[in-house]
Structure 1
Amino acid sequence: MFTRITLRYGTATVAKDKLLCLQSSKRLIVIPSPTGRRRKRKVKNVSLRDLQVDEVMGLEDPEKLEYKIKQIQEYTRRLSEKLKLSSDHEKMDLPNTDVTKNVDEIFDQISSAKGIPVITKEHQLLSSASTNNTTDLSTLIRETSNIQMEQLLPTEIKKRINNDDLVMSSLFRKDKQDWNLIISELYSSKKKLKGLSLNLITFQLLPKIHNLSLESIEQLDEMLIESCSGDFATYNKRMYECLFQNLSRLTPLPSQTNDPVITKMKELMDRFDANLLPKGLKMNSYSLNYCITYVKKAKDFKSMNYFLTRFKNQYNVTPNRVNYTTIIQFYRDLNLPQQAWNIFSTMKFLSKEHSPDIITYNKMLQICMQERDYARAIDLFHEVSDMKLIPSVDTLTILIKVLAVCSGNTMESDGKQESLRLMGWKYCHELIKLGGWEENEKILSAMLTLSAYDGDVSLTRALYFKCIMKRFFQVRNESNDNSSIVSIWKKALQASLLNRLFIGYSKFKPDKLPLSFSFDEGMELRRNILNSVDYSGRSTEGIIVPLLPIINLGNSEEILAESNAMWRFNLEFGGITNGLSDSYLENDIAKVDVDNMVHSSLNVSEFKARFFPLIAQWRQVVNQDILNPICMGSYLTIPLRLQNKNEFLARLNSFTFQQKDFDEKIESFYNSKLQITETVKKEEKQEEEKIDPSANTVELKNDDINKNQDLLKYIGSLRYKMLANGTIYEYQMKLATMTNDSTLATKTWKDRGLFRKTAYFNNLEKRERVSLDTEFARLMVEYFVGQNMYVDAMSIILSSQRHINWTYHMVKQLHHKLMEVEDQENASRLLEIVNKKKSKVALLDEQLQELAL
């Protein structure tokens, strides 16, 4: 228990409580040993007997397991050193002769020792190359290339293509193979696939083909038919599966009534039924998954039902676990969470083969994020443990994001904002313990989401910087040498990351203490992350992100300035294109002949349509992935929450436009242009008739030129502006309520009234239109309550009760104010509206709408 040590000036007693007592004749000193660091066991001279690899799997103690891993690493290191040393000894054992005299002999010996083919002097003579058994260097390289090409493509097909350079350039890099060129070249050859054995096509060629375009798929299908001599009975299932697999990987084109990919799938299935079905061969679940995978991307509800029904009735193929997971993702993309939950419940009650796996649970966690339902997400995570499934990194990161997003709203978090974020940090530290988190973008993104919703601007900036720099260098390393810096930044910059950064800016409070300060692990992690970033570019090869070179931002002015800089940085592809500058399109604008566009248009609608290709072309210099409603909303929320009215209006006018303003400018310009043209013609006619022309002729022409330039500048500015949607008007109403600005409020609800008449609003689904109207009506009631205009607030509720389902939390402030002023009549009417039950007719309408979906 105690160890007694004899020292020079006294004795030392070492006890179990880690106190070292030095006893001398004069004094007694108690020295506590450091408790922060534990003494590590050294790993030296490890032999194979010490490893006992079979016992590693049974270890449960983390310390013993860590020590065993270190033993294995030490043994591997020593083994590598021995191999290197033995290799050096082999080289040293060679004769020590004059290298300048016997170069060929020494090279032969080294080559023989290493297994490299010997190249003698005779190989250097082209005249004797045919007589020797060995080959020269160029022949050796050519033979190596042939071996590689045989692995990439069967020899018979390579001969028909007859272009080795094309084969090597298209297929050499497995991560970027281009089979479209191979199929196109093979399709252009004389024989194509004729005369080749069925085994070669089925087992050596088709399994390698992937990522074909629709045109190449059609060509491959035609060649396969020719190889079967038109006999569809020999057109086997593997051929069909290859075509279905490549069709499933295509990207659907927007706004297509008859999707050619779905049409091709149906054509293949009809051909399969007519030829192979009578022989007892049937489509399987893999083919079903290919079909619904593409339909999921196309978001085609009708086609999804078609394929599920056909496979069920015609082939007796019911969805398996993978198919059900794909269908869940389909419903998630269509924002139909209830249908996804129904499928998930069905999987639980089917056989064990259909029971949800960790991938399915991850999809359901994403649906929880859509619904902002943290309680259900936690229940799902507990189910994963009960089912004895191993949570993946995706599982934990999605759960962390659900907790973070729900903590941003009092209603969604049930008033437990800090508790949810603390739970999120708990799961973050579980991921950190696994190691390698600094290189894992998903973990960094989850931590970024947590810090953003916590309002920890310093940590949010640091994590955003790490994510962007990691993505930039990763994309640059994976890109070709010919890739431009713009294309690299386009792939590296992500709208979701920028949105999280803006959320962190908007929640900035200089006197708020970050939540990570509440526990030791959080403080240490935060300190390490902040100290690991360098905004000056010295550690990032001169790549500079426009973040202020300070760790902490101290005031709202710095927040606004940095958020503006980051907005421009992302829109201009890392600040490369300078696409937001007014002078950027001066040369392009000068080439546009507006007068010709007016004269060649039959009406104002045709004239308006002529600008759309120009706008689409000019918008290419701005990152349209960033210019989306979500990022725009977060960008406007920053000055809104910081209560900076001027900055909000400046951002609103600079980067958004209204449909009514666009229509008014085009129509007024078109009409004035026609009037000016008629006036000029009259003046020219008077001049021909020798009548004194009007003094306004020159002014009209100058005014005409100025109007042309003003219109084109406005059209050019639309390249970095987003059409105002319903959310933009909601932000304006919030600002009017916050600043008590009646002028802004009046203008906002008038503009939104015109917005409801636009084609954009009317093309939205009814459910989305009602949701937008409900939120704006609630904000108007909130504004009138703030202005003590209770009668006006009641009139909005009474006039919209047939279309809007008013709940108590929406009118809570109004009810309290009515009770304060003792307006019992309006308070009672308000409660009647809130507590009313839906009529049978209304319930029947809702059921019909659900059936229509």
Structure 2
Amino acid sequence: MLHRYWPLRGAVRCSCGSSLAVKNGIVIPQRSIFVVRSDRKSKPPSSKAHPRRRNNDERTKKWETTRKNLDEDSRRRLQVHEEESKRKLDDLKTLARDVSIMVKQRQEIENLNKIPLSAKEPEEDLSPEESDKSATGDNVVIDKNAFIVPATPIPEEISKRLGLALRYLVSEKNQNWPLVLDQLKASDGFKDLPYGTVVDFLTKIPPNQMKFVIPTIEELLQEAQIPKTAKIISLYMTSLTSGTTVSDSTIQVLENYCADIKSMKNGKLPKRAYETLILAHGKNGNLQKIQDTLAEMRLNQVEISGTVLTNILTTCVYKARDHKQAVEIFDTMRFEKEVYKPGTRAYQDIIVSYVNNDDIEKAIDIYREMITEKIEVNQQIMVALARGCASRETFRFKSWDFMFEIYKNKWTPTLPTYEYMMYLSSRDGDLALTRALYTRLIKDNTVTKRSLTFLLLAYSKAQLPGEALEPFLITSQDRGRIFRENVINTSGITEPSSGFPFLPLDELTTKTQIMAESSAIWAHTCLHNPDLINSESTTSYLNIASEMGMLSDFIDRFEGSTYLEDDERKLSNGFVIEEPLEEQNVTDEPAADQSDEVVENSGEETVYEISLNKSPLHEKYDESSTVKSPVLKSLQTKRTPRVSLTYVVALKAAGKFNNYSFANRIWQERGKFRRTNRFKNLSRSEKDKLDFQFASQMVRTLTDLNLLEDALAVLKSTEYQFRWTWRELDPLKTAAVEQGNTKISQTVRGIARRAQVTYEGKIRRKDYKKYVMERGY
């Protein structure tokens, strides 16, 4: 029904091939076949070549492509063959060199056997058969006839004289230069050797060992009649400055050496000698000597290098503790990069200085500057930044991030890194992680004074179940949670094989457990590692009783682990017997959160609790009785002298336990402490700092005892002596406001306002009015 869709006219061709005619709209099939002209135009004749010729061209192109590929494969095979031939040639050269060495070795066997060894380590002679076996390489054990190659390259003339003594230089870390020089002295020393060879040999001696063999070197030089030149003296000076500190006697020796060099150099020192002298004065902590040396360098027109400024910066940060001077030196290096471009060590020192001065914001800015300037960072910088973040509430969440950067950079954590991991966990109250980390240090036998102090700090800040717990910072990210779980699970703290008095528990859940374990650890340390105990660890040990125990526990530890350094009351055995407290002072008044653990008017209950909180080894030392056990005697004699921080912690305990009598005793004894040599020998600035610390705690303790008038009296008497801030004054002001005592609160505000004007540069109201009147706006 094709006509239903299209009007058909003329002739069309059906799909089957037959033609159809259309007349008056009717389709009439036609039997005749006719051709219908197509509207498509015929294609023009192709311009291509004949098909046979076209196929020949294609075959030619394929052949050219194949030939090129074959040429490339040939060249590639030829290149591989050349490289293989070159490698074989290098192997042949190496073999020839090894054979030459073996031939030379066989020729020198007889000479090596004739050289005498040091009398300290005699050796037996080998039989000819064993000697030949060793020479041919059948025996891989290095013996006296083996070819000895020292780790430090030695001039050939001297190595021949040393002979078998070269074996003392095979190891890079364990070199015995005294024995080497003794052997050299027995083999004609430096005789008939040129000066350059001798100096080259002396430069191979590590500085930390040369300072012990300088007399032997001078004997060798004198026997060979070789003059002691300025270059040799400079090597002596470098060796004497090795180490962390330089004593006054060593400084005198260095100044004598400088005088010898000046006599050789017409009164001038070379640049290297000045740098060594400044380094020595820095390790001696004498900034004035450094200033004098710098003035002499300017006078002699000697250029001050970046090394000199870096050494001075290190002195200001670690020895002099002069942060302001350190910042000025670093800014000089940073803004004059063409002359004094600071390196990793300079950046590390200034970051540590900012952290020590509680300016973590600036320390982080310096760290970001290192990243921008593409200066290499190290593990010490990460640890310093983590320590600084832990001390500021707003940056605490970043502390563990810097620690995990150490693992991200695939650095092997060092001992200080593990110690400051303990510090972060202890500050966070994560006692379980701190104990696990300390267990690892015990297994590695790397426990230090710092790690013990951090462990005791963890006991005083531990978060216990039932309290308003906060999530540990390390658990705020997945890698921190995994790290914590792995350390605790693999620590083996529940195994008694270590011999350390940890309770067989992964976590401590009560204050009694903390008091008992800390007391046992202190007794164990006094018996086995008394050198680990110092004033810092003792203060942390006392603070545990202040936070987790009772007043009687604190007084027991106060008297059992510290003593007042008073010459009039010091006994011959090195410690003093404190006068007994009055009856009202020795009270078993519990803390607010321990009131349900003690039954009043029950002596048996009190004795039972003290026995749990205290190690059995810590018994009271009675002067009237004889100490039968030497163990108990060693416990009693291992006590540290009381320092200013000891009295601050004691005042804190007196305020917490609301005991005025004990507080009165502490500040009276603090007056005696100020008359001891320990306090008198401090600098004026250090004395003022410690006095302000104690005065601040006095104000806080009197506030806790609800003696606001007395606290205000202390504050008013020291208003112009100390730099008071709202950090110390806010508790007193808050207590006065709660009681409605406007007089005290207004007085405190006035003291704070005057301190801000005097110390913080705050402008006064009348000065501001005068300023506005003069300017007109």
| TM-score of Structure 1 vs Structure 2, range by shorter chain | 0.5 to 0.7
What residue is the counterpart of 1:681 in the other structure? none
- Once the 2 structures are TM-superposed, how far is the Cα of residue 391 of structure 1 from its aligned partner? 2.7
Question: 2:436 aligns to what SS in structure 1?
Answer: helix
Matched, 1:650 2:552: no
What residue is the counterpart of 1:519 in the other structure? 477
In the TM superposition, 1:62-73 aligns within 5 A as none
Counterparts in 2 of 1:202 and 1:451: CA distance versus 1, 3 Å: same
Matched, 1:796 2:770: no
Larger Rg: 2
- Once the 2 structures are TM-superposed, how far is the Cα of residue 248 of structure 1 from its aligned partner? 0.8
Counterparts in 2 of 1:185 and 1:640: CA distance versus 1, 3 Å: farther
Work out the CA distance in 2 between the residues paired with 1:834 and 1:128.
93
Work out the CA distance in 1 between the residues paired with 2:384 and 2:575.
51
Residue among 322, 336, 345 paired with 1:359: 345
Q: Which amino acid aligns with 2:234?
A: E
Q: Which amino acid aligns with 2:463?
A: K
- Once the 2 structures are TM-superposed, how far is the Cα of residue 755 of structure 1 from its aligned partner? 0.8
| Cα RMSD after superposing both structures | 4.4
Work out the CA distance in 1 between the residues paired with 2:707 and 2:127.
101
What residue is the counterpart of 2:309 in the other structure? 324
Residue among 392, 397, 413 paired with 2:378: 392
Work out the CA distance in 2 between the residues paired with 1:455 and 1:654.
26
Deviation per residue, 1:314-364 (Å, 9 max, x gap): 3603031x3322222211222211111111111111133522222222212
Q: Which runs of 5+ in 2 are unaligned?
A: 1-97, 111-124, 577-622, 762-777
Question: 2:492 aligns to what SS in structure 1?
Answer: coil
Cα contact 1:250–1:294 (8 A) shared by 2: no
Cα contact 1:129–1:136 (8 A) shared by 2: no
Cα contact 2:313–2:326 (8 A) shared by 1: yes
Work out the CA distance in 2 between the residues paired with 1:389 and 1:136.
49
What residue is the counterpart of 1:565 in the other structure? 520
What residue is the counterpart of 1:727 in the other structure? 645
Matched, 1:741 2:678: no
Cα contact 1:184–1:216 (8 A) shared by 2: no
What residue is the counterpart of 2:451 in the other structure? 497
Residue among 232, 238, 245 paired with 1:245: 238
Work out the CA distance in 1 between the residues paired with 2:575 and 2:200.
66
Work out the CA distance in 2 between the residues paired with 1:710 and 1:134.
68
In the TM superposition, 1:56-135 aligns within 5 A as none
Question: 1:174 aligns to what SS in structure 2?
Answer: coil
Counterparts in 2 of 1:200 and 1:523: CA distance versus 1, 3 Å: same
Cα contact 1:669–1:707 (8 A) shared by 2: no
Q: Which amino acid aligns with 2:422?
A: L
What residue is the counterpart of 1:549 in the other structure? 504
Counterparts in 2 of 1:140 and 1:456: CA distance versus 1, 3 Å: closer
What residue is the counterpart of 1:762 in the other structure? 680
Counterparts in 2 of 1:223 and 1:272: CA distance versus 1, 3 Å: farther
Question: 2:569 aligns to what SS in structure 1?
Answer: helix
Question: 2:204 aligns to what SS in structure 1?
Answer: helix
Report the count of equivalent residues: 594
Counterparts in 2 of 1:668 and 1:725: CA distance versus 1, 3 Å: closer
- Once the 2 structures are TM-superposed, how far is the Cα of residue 429 of structure 1 from its aligned partner? 3.6
Q: Which runs of 5+ in 1 are unaligned?
A: 1-110, 408-412, 473-491, 576-621, 671-705, 844-853
Matched, 1:462 2:436: yes
Cα contact 1:493–1:570 (8 A) shared by 2: no
Q: Which amino acid aligns with 2:709?
A: V
What residue is the counterpart of 2:47 in the other structure? none
Counterparts in 2 of 1:569 and 1:733: CA distance versus 1, 3 Å: same
With structure 2 as the length reference, what TM-score do the two structures score? 0.67
What residue is the counterpart of 1:292 in the other structure? 278
What residue is the counterpart of 2:726 in the other structure? 808
Matched, 1:216 2:213: yes
Q: Which amino acid aligns with 1:176?
A: N
Q: Which amino acid aligns with 2:547?
A: R
Matched, 1:427 2:402: yes
Work out the CA distance in 1 between the residues paired with 2:657 and 2:130.
91
- Once the 2 structures are TM-superposed, how far is the Cα of residue 460 of structure 1 from its aligned partner? 1.7
Residue among 305, 317, 327 paired with 2:291: 305
What residue is the counterpart of 1:688 in the other structure? none
Counterparts in 2 of 1:176 and 1:651: CA distance versus 1, 3 Å: farther
Counterparts in 2 of 1:138 and 1:507: CA distance versus 1, 3 Å: closer
What residue is the counterpart of 2:530 in the other structure? 623
Q: Which amino acid aligns with 2:259?
A: D
Q: Which amino acid aligns with 1:177?
A: Q
Cα contact 2:658–2:705 (8 A) shared by 1: yes
In the TM superposition, 1:349-748 aligns within 5 A as 349-404=335-390, 406-407=391-392, 413=393, 416=394, 420-435=395-410, 440-441=414-415, 443-469=417-443, 471-472=444-445, 492-511=446-465, 512=469, 513-536=471-494, 542-572=497-527, 575=528, 622-624=529-531, 626-660=532-566, 663=569, 665=571, 719-748=637-666
Work out the CA distance in 2 between the residues paired with 1:661 and 1:130.
71
Cα contact 1:535–1:544 (8 A) shared by 2: no
Q: Which amino acid aligns with 1:630?
A: E
Deviation per residue, 1:575-631 (Å, 9 max, x gap): 4xxxxxxxxxxxxxxxxxxxxxxxxxxxxxxxxxxxxxxxxxxxxxx532x222222
Work out the CA distance in 1 between the residues paired with 2:173 and 2:475.
44
Question: 1:788 aligns to what SS in structure 2?
Answer: coil
Work out the CA distance in 1 between the residues paired with 2:424 and 2:135.
66
Question: 1:498 aligns to what SS in structure 2?
Answer: helix
Counterparts in 2 of 1:835 and 1:127: CA distance versus 1, 3 Å: closer
Residue among 247, 269, 278 paired with 2:258: 269
Q: Which amino acid aligns with 1:461?
A: R
Question: 1:147 aligns to what SS in structure 2?
Answer: coil
What residue is the counterpart of 1:203 in the other structure? 200
- Once the 2 structures are TM-superposed, how far is the Cα of residue 522 of structure 1 from its aligned partner? 2.7
Question: 2:491 aligns to what SS in structure 1?
Answer: coil
Counterparts in 2 of 1:248 and 1:729: CA distance versus 1, 3 Å: same
Question: 1:397 aligns to what SS in structure 2?
Answer: helix
- Once the 2 structures are TM-superposed, how far is the Cα of residue 467 of structure 1 from its aligned partner? 3.7
Cα contact 2:660–2:705 (8 A) shared by 1: no
Deviation per residue, 1:113-170 (Å, 9 max, x gap): xx99999xxx9997999999988999996664563469676576578789x56x64x5
Work out the CA distance in 2 between the residues paired with 1:249 and 1:195.
31
What residue is the counterpart of 1:773 in the other structure? 691
- Once the 2 structures are TM-superposed, how far is the Cα of residue 710 of structure 1 from its aligned partner? 8.1
Q: Which amino acid aligns with 1:462?
A: A
What residue is the counterpart of 1:283 in the other structure? 270
Cα contact 1:153–1:205 (8 A) shared by 2: no
Cα contact 1:368–1:377 (8 A) shared by 2: yes
Counterparts in 2 of 1:809 and 1:201: CA distance versus 1, 3 Å: same
Work out the CA distance in 2 between the residues paired with 1:637 and 1:463.
21
Work out the CA distance in 2 between the residues paired with 1:839 and 1:136.
85
Work out the CA distance in 1 between the residues paired with 2:328 and 2:358.
18
Higher helix share: 1
Moved more, 175-184 or 546-555: 175-184
Work out the CA distance in 2 between the residues paired with 1:727 and 1:494.
21
Matched-pair identity in %: 22
Cα contact 2:234–2:273 (8 A) shared by 1: yes
Q: Which amino acid aligns with 2:458?
A: G
Cα contact 2:560–2:636 (8 A) shared by 1: no
Counterparts in 2 of 1:201 and 1:837: CA distance versus 1, 3 Å: same
Cα contact 2:148–2:170 (8 A) shared by 1: no
Work out the CA distance in 1 between the residues paired with 2:134 and 2:211.
49
- Once the 2 structures are TM-superposed, how far is the Cα of residue 761 of structure 1 from its aligned partner? 0.8
